[in-house]
Amino acid sequence: MIVKTYVFSYYLTIFITAVVLVVATIFVHPESVKYLANKFLKENAIAYSKVEGSLLTGVTLHDISYLDIFAAKRVEVGYNFFMLFNPTPVIRKIKADGVSLNLDKLPKSQEESSEFFAFAIAKLELTDASVIIEDERFVFNLNASRIDYDKTLDVRKLFVELFTPYADATIDATIDSNRLYAKTLVTPKVSVAKKYLGFLQGVAKTIAIDVDASLQKIFMRTHFNRLSLSADQNISVGNADVNLTYFTKEEYFSFDSSYTLSYQEFEAEAKQNGLFNNYGAYFSELSADLTKYPPQLPFKSFEAEFAGDAESLAGSIKTKQLKLDIKSKDYKEFLLHVDSKALALSSISQLPDMLKKNIIAFNADAVVVTSPFSLIGTFSTKGLYCSAEGNIALDNISQLFSAQVYPKLESEIFKTYPIEMFSPLEFIYYNEDEKAVLNIYANMFDLTLFKNGTSLNGLGHFGSQSFDVNGKISEKNDANISLSANIPSLNALLSEFGVVKSQEGVFFDAEANIKASVNFSKNMEIKSRLHIPWFITKVDTKTAYTVENLYLESTMTDKDITIEKYSLDFRNHNFNSQKKSKISFDDNATLELKEFWIYDNLLVTGLFNPLLMKGDLQIKSDAFKYEGKEANVTIRADVDISLDGNGTQKIEGNVTLLDGVITYEPPVEYTISDDIIIIQDIKPQTENKRFINLHISSLKPISYKTKNIDLHLVPDVVIWQEPSRPLAFLGMATIEEGGVTASGKLFIFDRSEVYFNGSNPINPYLNLNMHYQTLNYIDIEIFITNTLASPIVIFKSTPHLSQNDIMSYILFGEPATAVFESSSGGKTSVSSLLLATGVKQIFNDTAGVNIDTLNVLTNEEGTLGYEIGARISDKIRVIYKNDTISSVILQYSFSKSIRLDINIHETGQGINILYVKDF
């Protein structure tokens, strides 16, 4: 039994060993692999050129192909034969080179995937692999590890390098239960970026995209720092986060994004979301809050909503005040409609205060055709001050604009203007190729401009006045336009518009020649030259002022005016400056005199509003030099002028005479002649609101020289005026030395004073000390005291002389007894004769007043009086008499023999009718 058991075990062992050796030989023998490959692969139309390896450790196939669907240069599969029999077969390695899969050739019956059995791949490596989809080849390299499939796919690490006709990409991912988590870097091809993204600037060469994909949807996220339009780099999107989701079963996309939208001085934080599908249908909505915007913008946020498909579009853009509707049925023709609520303009700081009160509403309709481009539309607006309506027509060749503006005559802004003369105001502009015409027309104004290439010319009318326009406009929209006009009568022109109205005794007129050049190269610049040959202002029947030869050159840029130079003649004086003066103005017409020069050395600065007559001005000079016929002086000035807009004027400061000579003489037209009657218009005195406190002084004596006068004066005077009070002088003027020549006689001044006490009319106190020396060295002293209206004259001589002798010496250089031999009444006759001839002539020569009667009267006490008379017509003479009392006599001659005397004196009045007969 034991032997039989032993024999059975022995032969069984030999048999099992033989079987194992046979099986092992089959698995490791190369021919076995070839046999099986030939048996199972070729029978299924899988071709190959060579097979290597063994069934135990793995095989390698070369030049594999399956129909025209699949091909590979080399496929290596490594495994542990016994691991293939696990519930989840494990393949150690799959490595393939030159794999090509043409999905376009794949039979439709095989496109739908069927459920695979469970498997595991430790390592998968594909090199130079490609997939063909719709005749386009996508090449990639793939490395993956720890691939497990058991109803769901898991890949611990997946790295793919993808090369497509559109972009290159790298994908670093993992797969967890059929869900892909990947970080990708996409680099678009240069040609693709230029074609599809060329309208953008700032696109990164490589774009990072995060992917979260499942069988139901694919989610992608990316970020852009800044993108701008190539056509207009002012439009940009920054700090953008974009999320895109594709729903695989429903086959549509959804997206949401947030970004910063910028355009010039505008910036907004925007949020946008929407839907779209492969068939062209879409919907999107956007909301934005403005973070940077001009202060005058009437809204701070806006919303937009668009929906459509491949054929039609409908959308709107809305704010609280505005709404724009857009519609199209074919993406070729678009209908636009704009509506606005009442918009307040108070936030527009650049507008004048009056226009800030305006509130406007408008609407517009337009039809836009994209190819060829055209736009036809209408618009209308309504506001507090005016309404307007118009039409617009644009295409690729021409542009046409027309509008009619209707000012509301009852509006506050137009109350002081003849606006009815400019209502309605019509505009028409037409442009085609390089030719254009602009016409502006109103009742009293029209302008027509013609443009041909870069040349511009035209003409216009302002009332009856015409003017010409010419200039150049370049392709860059730079323009230089010249305007010229000759106005023969400014008064006639303004009268046409009702700006000036005739007023009795008041008149002004001027002739003006204007040439201006307007340059639009950068900021608008206006250079002008003004010549006014004459300008006359007549304030009453007696008083008229004339300015001649006013020349002014100025440059205005934005709100700054530079007066290059100016010159004008007024009352035989030339006022000019070659020094640049700089002035700026704001929207309220307030002028800021940064530096305004008079004679190049008198500076005026400050603020002034000519419409409100309000301002504060400072006049300063360290050494203002004035040269003229009446004076040649140097002055230091520091004067402040304030105007409050209610008529109140305040003038304060100091004027110091530093040096110079005054040669002023009263004009001839103010002397009284025998045969001219001067009647001055008497107007009711208006209540002034002027306050003046002006101190006039000098550092040293100032010379006053005329034909008969040579004095050295030191003024220390305050010109003072309070509101509703007359002008007054306070202070004194000191005559240091000098002389007066009258009728060939020299009167020498000692130190004298004139005191101003603020009286009205001006009537200073006198303290005048004069000397007259005769040929025989008699020194005659003349003292004049009291007031200018009531002077007291005292004569004194060394040696002592009588009053008649002193008067005779002054007039004739001899004593009275030597000139006239008279009786006891000789004093009266001599004195009367002397003063009626000599003193009268002296008074006329020095005072500039033509009198025809001057008598010296001697009363019973021996003191002197005087009688002064002047003929103001052939029939009327006025005589002032100062003897024991003061009186005024009005003499009216009815004929040569009959005269009426009206005597008015301190104690009463009387009327005498005299018959005069010559003997």
Three-state secondary structure readout of 707-771: CCEEEEEEEEEEEEECCCCCCEEEEEEEEEEEEEEECCEEEEECCEEEEEECCCCCCCEEEEEEE
Is position 910 within any domain?
yes
Using CB atoms within 10 Å of the CB of residue 762, give its burial: 0 to 12 exposed, 13 to 18 middle, 19+ buried.
middle
Q: What is the Cα–Cα distance from 772 to 791, expressed in whole angstroms?
A: 19
Amino acid identity of 1?
M
Does residue 632 sit in the same domain as residue 768?
yes
Look at the chain and count its residues.
919
User: Residue 30: is the preceding peptide bond cis (ω within 30°)?
Assistant: no
- Are the C-beta atoms of 390 and 379 separated by less than 8 Å? yes
**Rounded to the nearest 5 degrees, what angle is found at the Cα of 854, between the Cα atoms of 852 and 857?**
155
DSSP-assigned letter for residue 43: G
Same structural domain, 769 and 640: yes
Give me the number of domains the chain comprises. 3
* Domain co-membership, 572 together with 612: no
Under a CB-based contact definition with an 8 Å cutoff, are residues 534 and 547 in contact? yes
Q: Is the pTM of this model over 0.95?
A: no
Q: For position 816, what pLDDT does the model report?
A: 62
pLDDT at 673: 38
Q: What is the pLDDT of residue 638?
A: 92
Q: What angle do CA 155, 159, 160 make, to 5 degrees?
A: 120
pLDDT at position 274: 93
Q: Hey, what are 90's tokens?
A: 């494990």
CB under 8 A, 24+ apart: contacts of 667-674 = 670/848, 671/848, 671/849, 671/850, 672/849, 672/850, 672/851, 672/870, 672/872, 673/850, 674/850, 674/852, 674/871, 674/872
Flag whether 356 is in a domain. Answer: no
What three-state secondary structure class fits 630?
Answer: coil
Mean pLDDT by 10 residues, the chain (919 residues): 44 43 48 62 75 78 84 86 75 89 72 64 90 87 90 91 91 92 92 81 89 91 88 84 91 92 88 89 92 79 90 90 90 91 72 71 91 91 88 91 87 70 85 87 84 82 78 67 80 70 65 81 78 78 76 84 86 81 80 85 86 84 80 88 83 90 62 38 58 90 86 90 86 89 82 88 86 84 82 82 74 65 44 47 48 49 53 64 63 69 65 60
pLDDT of residue 182: 94
Separation of alpha carbons 554 and 526, rounded Å: 8
- Residue 589's pLDDT is 72
Q: Which residue has the tokens 């800030």?
A: 356
Give the pLDDT score at 918.
52
Task: State how far the alpha carbon of 118 is from the alpha carbons of 94, 146, 176, 248, in Å.
Answer: 16, 14, 16, 25
Other CB atoms within 10 A of residue 280 CB: 10
Distance CA 361, CA 322 (A): 10
Is residue 131 included in any domain, yes or no? no
For residue 822, the model assigns a pLDDT of 45
Clarify whether residues 467 and 532 are in a common domain: yes
The residue among 800, 817, 838 that closes a domain is 800
Whether 191 is covered by a domain: the verdict is no
Query: Does a structural domain hold residue 155?
Result: no
- 810 near 772, Cβ under 8 Å? yes
Identify the domain containing residue 777 by its residue range.
607-664+687-800
Q: If you search the block for the tokens 């063994």, which residue do you land on?
A: 54
Tell me the HSE value of 567 on the side-chain side, using a 13 A CA sphere.
Answer: 6
Q: Do 475 and 532 reside in the same domain of the chain?
A: yes
User: Do 640 and 773 belong to one domain?
Assistant: yes
Q: What is the pLDDT of residue 868?
A: 57
On whether residue 907 sits in a domain, the answer given is yes
Count of CB atoms within 10 A of residue 794's CB? 9
What local confidence, expressed as pLDDT, does residue 509 receive?
82
pLDDT in tens, 414-449: 776 667 777 788 989 999 888 889 888 888 788 888
616 plus 568 within the same structural domain:
no
- Amino acid letter, residue 479: A
For the record, the structure tokens of 480 come out as 């230089």
pLDDT, one tens digit per residue, over 704-740 is 888 888 889 899 999 888 888 888 889 998 998 988 8
Burial of 310 (0-12, 13-18, 19+ CB in 10 A): exposed
Tell me what pLDDT residue 428 has: 92
Co-location of 647 and 569 in the same domain: no
User: Within this chain, do residues 766 and 872 fall inside the same structural domain, yes or no?
Assistant: no
**What six digits make up the tokens of 129?**
């692999």
Nearest by Cα to 916 from 884, 868, 877: 877
626 and 565 together in one domain: no
Q: Is residue 518 part of a domain?
A: yes
Is 714 within a domain? yes
Please give the Cα distance from 576 to 553 (Å, whole number): 12
User: What's residue 347's pLDDT?
Assistant: 66
Q: What percent of the chain has pLDDT over 90?
A: 18
Specify whether 766 is located in the same domain as 888.
no
pLDDT, residue 522, reads: 65
Residues 615 and 545 in one domain: no
